[in-house]
Amino acid sequence: MQQQNISIGALVDQYKRGELRLPEIQRQYVWRAPRVRDLLDSLYRRYPSGSILLWETDETVPMKGAAIVQQPSAFTGHKLLLDGQQRLTSLTAVLLGELVTVRGQQKPIDIAFNLNHPEHLLSESADGESDDEDDDRTFMVMTAKLRARQGWVSVTGVFGGDTDAVILTRAGVTSLVDPNYQRYSDRLKKLRAIKDYPYVVHVLERNMSYEEVTEIFVRVNSLGANLRSSDLALAQMTSRWRDLLKELEDFQKVCEQSRFAIDMGQLVRSIVVFATQQCKFGVVGSTQLQKLKEGWEEGKEGLRFAINFLQANAGIEDESLLSSPMFLHTIAAISRVKDNKLSQADQGHLLHWLLNGNARGRFGRGASEGLLNEDLKVVFDKQDVAALLELLKRQFGAHLDIEPVDLEGRGVTSPVFSLAYLALKHAGAKDWHSGLGLSLAHQGRPHFIQWHHIFPKSLLKAYGYQTNEINEMANMAFIGGQTNQSIGNKAPSEYLGKIVNKHGKAALEAQCVPLDPTLWEIDRYRDFLRVRREELANRMNTFILKT
């Protein structure tokens, strides 16, 4: 194995020119802007940031497109990028101003550099940014506020040709004797020196086979924990199964046409489920290729049924209403063992298991693979849908009804929140102005469904209520964006009565909003929550029983 030092600038140029390509075993570009910001910070400080692994080969290997547009290369042989894709894609986007494609959408990665940053290193959190701390940081994800602030410059602009004179003038430096002139100039020079940062590049020999290189890829990423187990399983599959990735991506697009976005990892899991009747990825390497291919054919049929069942029987319009994608696999397995022929009893048991499990968060407590394997064992061994409910009762207790206390302090991230939406939608809840029923498929931004704080946050905060009370789901109604904007910051005592006058009491009753006007006063907020929790819990339980 060869080893050499290559500068970031040279690697970025090679990547853009198409001399470094991605084999099919690579995952998609997934880095978020804060990760790119942290990488730049490390490079600026000359900290270690890993190495690059390439394979130089003339072998015909299935390729995948990079997240940035690469120029056509005249080379018949290529160096394939096995480790370092996320870093090189990010650096190419920032240094060359290239757009990255993420989930079909092109967007820039714009990072801001602080010319006034302190010399010492602060402990920086990827998600802990606030306006008060901006000036203590070296790099930030660019925002409109930062762009307007003196002393903050775009990293892409610095590398894209903005001269020091232009940058320094924007930063308020008016002359060569300005005390900031030399300090800012030195920092711009240090920033541009990122292009000279040398990466250690390992190059695998040409005589290696694709299968051997895939094994190295899996081992490197397993040791570094850079990839999810599903990514490693996919790499193992694609080394034996050419063009699998394209098949999976094509199926993803078909699902998206039905408004269901299924993660690539879940498609890989589906193959494993039907090839091995369990869901853990570790068995992929020892599973025969033909078995995997048969599993994929079963998986596609099962997932189609699962999407149809979720939408038509449960009213779950897209994946955002699921507390976990794991539900897909259990439903898919049932469809296959039953040959898509579910009795009336099977349909009822499956629906109750789904709605209760989704609201309780069956797969959201850390042992999701083990719980899914429990489900799969019941389905494949017993083919008994009712037995799934017994697993839920063993997990959450024999009493599965939603109680008002289950809603106390729970907000939009709680798994029970989607059940509230489904129950209100089923009961005929509508937007308070347009009269449109609830749906996630509405066309036009003014009609997109939003959750609306019935009591505005600012008023409750000023009155001294706690954040968990303010954002509790019992303070949420589902209305269109235009309606939400028109209500704005009004107290419920100002606008709920007008809604009743215009649309009748049913408009509030359908959303479980108490009709007693005294409960619409700020000082009765906790009483309002108590009453609405009871109404919502009753509505949810009625919905589950009726479906």
The whole-angstrom separation of Cα 147 and Cα 134 is: 12
- Give the integer Cα–Cα distance in Å for 299 and 402: 33
Contact between 67 and 100 under an 8 Å Cβ cutoff? The reply is: yes
Specify the range with the lowest mean pLDDT, choosing from 8-22, 146-160, 214-228, 350-364.
214-228
Q: Are 24 and 245 in contact (CB under 8 A)?
A: yes
Confidence of residue 120 (pLDDT cuts 50, 70, 90): low
Q: What is the pLDDT of residues 426-460, one digit of tens each?
A: 999 999 989 999 998 888 878 888 889 999 999 99
**Cα–Cα dist 391/393, whole Å:** 5
Q: Are 493 and 521 in contact (CB under 8 A)?
A: yes
Percent of the chain whose predicted confidence (pLDDT) is above 90? 61
Distances in whole angstroms, Cα of residue 497 to Cα of each of 463, 465, 478: 22, 24, 17
Cβ-Cβ contacts under 8 Å for 317 (sequence gap 6 or more): 259, 311, 439, 440, 441
The whole-number pLDDT of residue 130 equals 41
Q: C-alpha distances in angstroms, 127 versus 96, 227, 319, 528?
A: 26, 21, 25, 34
CB 271 within 8 A of CB 237: yes
Q: What pLDDT shows up at residue 132?
A: 42
Report yes or no: 547 and 314 within 8 Å, Cβ to Cβ.
yes
- pLDDT, tens digit, 9 for 90 and up, residues 302-313: 999 999 999 999
Q: Is the pLDDT of residue 247 over 70?
A: yes
Q: What average pLDDT is seen over the chain?
A: 89
pLDDT digits (tens, 9 = 90+) for 189-206: 999 999 999 998 988 878
Tens digits of residue pLDDT in 317-370? 999 999 999 999 999 999 999 999 999 999 999 999 999 999 999 997 667 899
Whether residue 57 contacts residue 24, with contact meaning beta carbons closer than 8 Å, is answered with: no
Nearest to 113 by CA among 71, 84, 85, 146: 146
- Give residues with Cβ within 8 angstroms of 245, minimum separation 6: 24, 62, 64, 234, 238
- Residue 174 confidence (pLDDT): 81
Distance in angstroms (rounded) separating the CA atoms of residues 302 and 300: 5
Distance of alpha carbon 86 from alpha carbon 32, whole angstroms: 10
> Picking from 13-27, 110-124, 137-151, 499-513, which range would have the lowest pLDDT averaged per residue?
110-124
> What SS3 class is residue 18?
coil
Structure confidence at residue 123 (pLDDT): 42
Q: Is 33 left (phi over 0), alpha (psi -120 to 50) or beta?
A: alpha
Average pLDDT of the residues in 222-249: 77
pLDDT at 420: 96
Q: Which of 67-81, 206-220, 241-255, 371-385 has the highest mean pLDDT?
A: 371-385
- Residue pair 497/443 in contact (Cβ under 8 Å)? The answer is no
**Cβ proximity of 420 and 452 under 8 Å:** no
Nearest-angstrom CA–CA distance, 273 and 294: 11
The whole-angstrom separation of Cα 245 and Cα 62 is 9
Task: State yes or no: pLDDT of 121 exceeds 70.
Answer: no
Q: Which residues, other chains included, contact 433 with Cβ-Cβ below 8 Å and sequence gap of 6+?
A: 479, 480, 482, 483, 486
Is the pLDDT at 124 greater than 80, yes or no?
A: no
pLDDT tens per residue across span 523-532: 999 999 999 9
More confident residue, 178 or 103: 178
Q: What is the pLDDT of residue 125?
A: 40
Backbone angles phi, psi at 81, to 5 degrees: -85, 110
What domains, with CATH codes, occur in the chain?
Answer: 2-101+196-212 (3.90.1530), 111-191 (no CATH), 228-400 (no CATH), 407-546 (no CATH)
176 contacts: CB under 8 Å, gap ≥ 6: none
User: How far apart, in whole angstroms, are the C-alpha atoms of residue 490 and residue 317?
Assistant: 31
Cross-strand partners of 201: 4, 52
Distance CA 309, CA 336 (A): 13
Per-residue model confidence (pLDDT) at position 398: 83
- Cβ atoms within 10 Å of 300's Cβ, excluding its own: 20
